Amino acid sequence: NLDAGPRGCPQSPRRSAPLAMAARSLLLIRGGCVVNDDSSQEADVLVEDGVVQAVGRHVLPPGDAPAGLRVLDAAGKLVLPGGIDTHTHMQFPFMGSRSVDDFHLGTKAALAGGTTMIMDFAIPHKGHSLIEAFDTWRSWADPQVCCDYSLHVAVTWWSDQVKEEMKILTQDKGVNSFKMFMAYKDVYMVRDVELYEAFSRCKEIGAIAQVHAENGDLVAEGAKKMLALGITGPEGHELSRPEAVEAEATLRAVTIASAVNCPLYVVHVMSKSAAKVVADARRDGKVVYGEPIAAGLGTDGTHHWDREWLHAAHHVMGPPLRPDPSTPDFLMNLLANDDLTTTGSDNCTFNSCQKALGKDDFTKIPNGVNGVEDRMSIIWEKGVHSGKMDENRFVAVTSTNAAKIFNLYPRKGRIAVGSDADIVIWDPKATRTISAKTHHQAVNFNIFEGMVCHGVPVVTISRGKVVYEAGVFSVSAGDGKFIPRKPFAEYIYKRIKQQDQITSVESSDSPSLGKLSSIRTSESLGVHETCIPTPVKREPYKGEVITLTSKE
């Protein structure tokens, strides 16, 4: 009758309030192993009206079977917080086309894979309002979504209006993350000064800065070079933007974020060298997070060299999947040891006829791959089944860490009293074979085709309702809701504030020496980089000064 608490301490069953007598929706998940990021326990979970009411043994008094109670047997199964996919692009108008997984089918597919929340991106064109883009994306998503969702907003240009709108989005619209593109030159790309401004603004308003880290100028030059060499096929995509192009931009973003002590989130980390940059920054004490995606963890870029053009084209995304076949394992190891933190899918799918826009020129192939449905299974197979991580780390990287970084925790990302009942009953022993023939997505190709994965979501519960069970959906468009997020997430901003405090104290208590000397002597450009430098006190120079002529 005892319930192991978060730190393993025995506790009585936790319950928020006596069950109301009025008509209610009641669900009991019985006999499973409840897995959170910090503990696993044999426990029942009682859900009422979309919220977890109790976790423990005998959560209902003996003989108490209230009317309307539905019991799900989870014996031998794991009971997990629903997945949070930090990165999707449903019905995204992009590269002359529009991604085919819309908010309806895309979120249904998410549920089938055990994901109960997606985070999509509202992306304005240069010169356009961020708030208008946000409203547009909401008008697409709100009536269509089958699971809960949030929106990141992209900053694709800079002005006083953008600066003001970032504040409004954060204070009034539930946005606490902004993505800046360092690639897609002339379309979405911003320059270093704009990154500096945007990062500074994120810091002021308590948001997290996200970057698509690739050097857009080098991407453009690389593409010209490949086309000039007669390489027009999908292999040219990777050849034109190799690892160094991603790693350089990642380091530049880390450096700029560090200059203003803004928390940074690197989306779709695709290469070993970019992942190492993130890992090094974290070891230097910087508040930086890296997000590998299902594609990068589950497959590789050797497919770009496939003889069949369409097969190769379906693997084109940016930054590219890497041809080094040891990359997925490497990224998974870093994810297991916390060098990398969250996982998304970057689900941005195009059918074959859309990919064919680039049949004679790889730069015209719409960028994007699938992953929203298969992310959880891929990570279970390659992460847990392979022995790299345990089930708690699985929950951390598929759900909890995202909830903490984006300020949704513990409403999302945890099974505990008061949390949203977004829950997956997961069979770790069952297997399924991934295929475009059987997946629930709109797209006609699957980059994981034929892969056999252990770890199958047998029941998915969203907002306390069984929405997917044994292959059958019980969900309608609009059942999901927009989830607003508050700024200054404790998980990231506590450390930022602490660092700011320390550096301001350090710079104010230095005597005549001047702060620069302490920067020079510090071992690395870590937190000291943000110290406010003070001038060296010295006698004014009284000697001769040459006079400049206009020519000089």
Contact positions vs Zn ion (CB under 5 A): 212, 303, 306, 346
Handedness of CA 415, 418, 423, 427 (dihedral sign): positive
Judged by beta carbon distances under 5 to 8 A according to partner kind, the member of ligand URP, Zn ion, none in contact with residue 368 is: ligand URP
Judged by beta carbon distances under 5 to 8 A according to partner kind, the member of Zn ion, ligand URP, none in contact with residue 367 is: ligand URP
- 3/101 with CB nearer ligand URP: 101
What's the burial of 69, exposed, middle or buried (CB within 10 Å: 0-12/13-18/19+)?
middle
Identify the DSSP state of 140: H
- 105/316 with CB nearer ligand URP: 316
E strand spans, 16-77:
26-35, 40-48, 51-56, 69-73
Judged by beta carbon distances under 5 to 8 A according to partner kind, the member of Zn ion, ligand URP, none in contact with residue 226 is: none
Least distance between ligand URP and beta carbon 213 (Å): 10
| CB distance 314 to 295 below 8 Å | no
Least distance between ligand URP and beta carbon 129 (Å): 20
- Which of 79, 133, 190, 348 lies at the binding interface for ligand URP (CB under 6 A)? 348
- Which of 318, 371, 413, 480 lies at the binding interface for ligand URP (CB under 6 A)? 318
**By the rule CB under 6 A, 317 interacts with ligand URP:** yes
- 45/105 with CB nearer ligand URP: 105
Per the structure block, which two tokens stand in for 226? Answer: 């490949």
**By the rule CB under 6 A, 114 interacts with ligand URP:** no
**By the rule CB under 6 A, 290 interacts with ligand URP:** no
| CB distance 290 to 340 below 8 Å | yes
- 314/439 with CB nearer ligand URP: 314
- Asked if omega into 66 is within 30° of 0 (cis), the reply is no
**By the rule CB under 6 A, 89 interacts with ligand URP:** yes
Least distance between ligand URP and beta carbon 242 (Å): 16
The angle that helices 192-205 and 160-172 make with each other, rounded to 10 degrees, is 30
Judged by beta carbon distances under 5 to 8 A according to partner kind, the member of ligand URP, Zn ion, none in contact with residue 306 is: Zn ion
Per the structure block, which two tokens stand in for 198? Answer: 């945007």
**By the rule CB under 6 A, 407 interacts with ligand URP:** no
- 14/212 with CB nearer ligand URP: 212
- Residues 239-278, one symbol each (x = binds ligand URP by CB under 6 A, - = not), give -----------------------------x----------
- Which of 201, 212, 393, 515 lies at the binding interface for ligand URP (CB under 6 A)? 212
Contacts with 532 (C-beta within 8 Å, 6 or more apart), sequence order: 503, 504, 507, 508, 515
| CB distance 155 to 113 below 8 Å | no
Contacts with 349 (C-beta within 8 Å, 6 or more apart), sequence order: 99, 100, 101, 368, 369, 370, 441, 442, 443
Least distance between ligand URP and beta carbon 113 (Å): 19
The strand pairing partners of 51, in sequence order, are: 48, 420
- Asked if omega into 319 is within 30° of 0 (cis), the reply is yes
Contacts with 331 (C-beta within 8 Å, 6 or more apart), sequence order: 269, 272, 275, 292, 296, 297, 340
**By the rule CB under 6 A, 368 interacts with ligand URP:** yes
**By the rule CB under 6 A, 367 interacts with ligand URP:** yes
- 302/333 with CB nearer Zn ion: 302
Closest residue by beta carbon to ligand URP: 367
How far apart CA 157 and CA 61 sit, in angstroms, is 59
**By the rule CB under 6 A, 216 interacts with ligand URP:** no
Binding-residue total with ligand URP (CB under 6 A): 9
Contacts with 156 (C-beta within 8 Å, 6 or more apart), sequence order: 123, 124, 125, 126, 180, 181, 187, 188, 189, 190
The strand pairing partners of 200, in sequence order, are: none
Judged by beta carbon distances under 5 to 8 A according to partner kind, the member of ligand URP, Zn ion, none in contact with residue 303 is: Zn ion
Q: What is the binding site for ligand URP (CB under 6 A)?
A: 89, 212, 268, 317-318, 346, 348, 367-368
